[in-house]
């Protein structure tokens, strides 16, 4: 397998974390991780423009092969969910516009991939990432480690010998021709066919 660079994003309208993971064969390397802060005094729409500009600059700087994002966490605050959904839409569309493969992972799946525990806290995830990449204590915001975690989760999916179907990709069900199919039923029950 040739090398594959993954940009992981922890989306947010005030802080957007990101991490970059390079996959070379079976080896994973952390290329960078950080968080971008947006001015909370700017209108929500101006911040969406800032998010688009920031993600576009990351694409230009690193030229990733794929973009992995953390899916929204369904909390009780509907307004926060709407704002986060808009930010994710901007990030996704910017990636698709550049022809970058976009994948999305639930927070639980990311935590499970990194720590083996889908309910792990952010500090545990950060500690495991330090261990995986042999990093000294990460001093970046936890949003940055969340970005690195989702990139790592995607890298592990790429390397997995058992490919699980992405929840984002719809796959048409094959037409059944065997036992239990509609055609089989009609062949076995010709008296059930009504002529109009």
**What confidence tens digit (pLDDT) does each residue in 72-95 have?**
766 667 788 888 889 999 999 999
Using one digit for the tens of pLDDT, what is the confidence trace for 128-176? 999 999 998 888 889 999 999 999 999 999 998 665 544 444 333 343 4
Task: Choose, from 10, 50, 104, 146, the residue flagged as catalytic.
Answer: 10
In the beta sheet, which residues pair with residue 28? 23
Which whole-number Å values give the CA distances from 86 to 44, 83, 157, in the listed order?
Answer: 10, 5, 26
Task: Choose, from 50, 103, 104, 143, the residue flagged as catalytic.
Answer: 143
The two tokens of residue 25 are: 């064969």
- Predicted pLDDT at 191: 64
Number of domains observed in the structure of the chain: 1
- Predicted pLDDT at 88: 93
Q: Report DSSP letters for 8-70, one per residue.
A: EEE--SSEEEEEEEEEETTEEEEEEEEEEE--TTS-HHHHHHHHHHHHHHHHHHH--SEEEEE
143 is catalytic: yes
Lowest-pLDDT choice from 6-20, 28-42, 164-178: 164-178
Does the CA dihedral 140-73-152-123 come out positive or negative? positive
Domain of 40, in residue numbers: 4-192
8 Å CB contact between 41 and 53: no
CATH classification of the domain holding 87: 3.30.420.10
pLDDT over threshold 50, residue 37: yes
In the beta sheet, which residues pair with residue 171? none
165 is catalytic: no
Query: For the whole model, what pTM was predicted?
Result: 0.79
In the beta sheet, which residues pair with residue 124? none
Classify residue 191 by its DSSP letter: G
Q: CA-to-CA distance for 4 and 22, rounded, in angstroms?
A: 6
Task: Choose, from 50, 70, 103, 104, the residue flagged as catalytic.
Answer: 70
Neighbours of 114 (CB within 10 A): 24
123 is catalytic: no
């Amino acid at each position: 397998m040739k090398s594959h660079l993954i940009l992981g994003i922890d989306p947010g309208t005030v802080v957007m974390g990101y991490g970059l993971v390079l996959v070379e064969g079976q080896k994973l390397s952390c290329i960078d991780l950080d968080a971008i802060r947006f001015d909370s005094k700017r209108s929500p729409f101006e911040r969406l423009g800032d998010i688009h500009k920031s993600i576009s600059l990351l694409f230009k700087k690193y030229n990733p092969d794929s973009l992995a994002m953390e899916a929204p966490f369904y909390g009780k605050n509907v307004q926060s969910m709407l704002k986060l959904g808009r930010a994710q839409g901007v990030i996704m569309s910017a990636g698709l516009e550049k022809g970058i493969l976009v994948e999305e992972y639930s927070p639980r799946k990311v935590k499970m991939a990194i720590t083996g525990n889908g309910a792990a806290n952010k500090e545990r995830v950060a500690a495991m990432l330090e261990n995986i990449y042999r990093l000294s204590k990460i001093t970046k915001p936890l949003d940055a480690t969340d970005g690195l975690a989702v990139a790592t989760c995607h890298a592990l999916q790429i390397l997995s010998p058992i490919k699980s179907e992405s929840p984002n990709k719809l796959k048409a069900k094959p037409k059944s021709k065997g036992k239990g199919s509609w055609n089989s039923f009609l062949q076995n029950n010709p008296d059930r066919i009504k002529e109009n």
